Structure 1
């Protein structure tokens, strides 16, 4: 399930608009803030992006890269009978597509409200409300784990998630996840010309935090450089087999936060990491 990008518009998320800042935010604070944010904003998110995502498509990113064409999980016919875990599933659109290919998906999300939307649309597979850093599954339970902007951009220590994923994957299993392309953290989160000039250091890993009047976080995103992501993957027991940076397609005229045809034709917006368990 594609999540909201860096610097999203928080209007309507709180009674008063949160303060946007850059400061440290740990594992517990990030998890608590993002669970609350998605529970409060799931309805608005599904209304705004539901048409783009569809009910049973597997879309990797705002660029619109579809698993039907990309086959990052492997050929669709080879998914039949595979146990697949989707992390950050939202309304389980991707899991629904997987089920249609004959896979046995499980859709996991931190937000109970997001999973209620999965029930509204309909699902014939398990829906699990849990933190990706503590997966409630036995070792070697899955053949494939996937995540379209789920969990990893929002956790303080992505290695906790990656090590949990490795634990629940069977030997030789595949992990594929998409995140905001790290280069975007150096640019303003604007879709127009004002978003084309570098405004911050790419190497500044200070989290983006929206906080309430009392200083408590209500939304958190964490920045990792490309090198950080690669090191996280390798140190967690995976082999990186591909890094996909989707180009902006001519058919996509939509704007999604800082994503737009103007920016998308000049700088990447998404990074997709294709990994295999050693």
Structure 2
């Protein structure tokens, strides 16, 4: 496997991971006490997890991975970031929730691993950090057992075209050149909707990293071309946890963000379930 030591995505996410977790207090104690971080959208698409083998693609710091394990799945999490995997391993040990975590560039790992899974799960800021969505989809198909399923819940790519005043004026939906900027401190921006404790300053990150604008059609087509059967496609008029645009407001009593009253609704997230044929 080629070295990815100098990968700017890896380096920027290492900084961002430290920034994000600095806001969240004792996460292990809260997970051990039963705190639920998963949202109903992904749970509905995943179904019963008891005894199922599940790989969490781009698992970040492992919080959602451990929630999946607590529901009975046998979880393996994979992420590019050294800081994220080290944190996830520590979180598993301190919370007493077992899971396996692997530090690797995702597509390279999927191309080489001999493991196969009944479920693959990805969510919230995943494939935008990958330069080749077709390779991602082929990798997903490769690591699923026949009849295995991918569940992918993601911010709708339309979100990134909005300016701060809710107008479609900032970026080209069909842009193919990567965006170059540091991974931001979206946990500070989102507050307790993403588990932040109290009000703290945003963490600093000056390491630029590329990200890519994959359209909704890009995602669906890549999965179909990889031989997966699309079973369910959903769109949602809210954003779970993350305040993906400063114009969004908190939906009272929830961890969701929506456009203010009077602003026309458009999809802010999508959900996909796809199956590898028998």
TM-score normalised by length of structure 2: 0.72
Equivalent residue number for residue 36 of structure 2: 57
User: Residues 134 and 58 (structure 1 numbering): CA distance in 2 closer, same or farther, change over 3 Å?
Assistant: farther
Which among 36, 40, 43 is matched to residue 18 of structure 2? 43
Secondary structure of the residue aligned to 1:134 is helix
Take 1:122 and 1:255, find their aligned partners in 2: how far apart are those partners? 23
Query: Does residue 129 in structure 1 map to residue 99 in structure 2?
Result: no
Q: Specify which structure has the bigger relative contact order, considering alpha-carbon pairs within 8 angstroms and separated by 6 or more residues.
A: 1
Per-residue deviation, residues 44-72 of structure 1 (Å, max 9, x unmatched): 112346799x746353xxxxx3357x421
Take 1:197 and 1:151, find their aligned partners in 2: how far apart are those partners? 23
Equivalent residue number for residue 240 of structure 1: 230
Equivalent residue number for residue 261 of structure 1: 249
Secondary structure of the residue aligned to 1:35 is helix
Take 2:36 and 2:7, find their aligned partners in 1: how far apart are those partners? 29
Q: How does 1:117-156 map to 2 (within 5 A)?
A: 117-123=87-93, 124-135=98-109, 138-139=113-114, 141-149=116-124, 151-156=126-131
Take 1:113 and 1:196, find their aligned partners in 2: how far apart are those partners? 36
Take 1:152 and 1:173, find their aligned partners in 2: how far apart are those partners? 20
User: Residues 209 and 50 (structure 1 numbering): CA distance in 2 closer, same or farther, change over 3 Å?
Assistant: farther
Take 2:275 and 2:144, find their aligned partners in 1: how far apart are those partners? 9
Equivalent residue number for residue 177 of structure 2: 206
User: Residues 36 and 83 (structure 1 numbering): CA distance in 2 closer, same or farther, change over 3 Å?
Assistant: same
Structure 1 residue 138 displacement after superposition:
4.0
Q: How does 1:86-97 map to 2 (within 5 A)?
A: 86-97=56-67
User: Residues 184 and 145 (structure 1 numbering): CA distance in 2 closer, same or farther, change over 3 Å?
Assistant: same
Could you tell me whether the CA contact under 8 Å between 1:178 and 1:271 is conserved in 2? Answer: yes
Structure 1 residue 139 displacement after superposition:
4.4
Aligned structure 1 segments of 4 or more residues deviating by more than 6 angstroms = 49-52
Take 1:220 and 1:139, find their aligned partners in 2: how far apart are those partners? 29
Structure 1 residue 33 displacement after superposition:
1.5
Take 1:175 and 1:196, find their aligned partners in 2: how far apart are those partners? 33
Structure 1 residue 120 displacement after superposition:
3.1
**Which stretches in structure 1 are left out of the alignment for 5+ residues?**
1-27, 60-64, 212-216
Equivalent residue number for residue 100 of structure 1: 70
Question: Alpha carbon RMSD of aligned pairs, Å?
Answer: 3.1
Secondary structure of the residue aligned to 1:44 is helix
Could you tell me whether the CA contact under 8 Å between 1:89 and 1:150 is conserved in 2? Answer: no
Take 1:237 and 1:222, find their aligned partners in 2: how far apart are those partners? 23
Equivalent residue number for residue 14 of structure 1: none
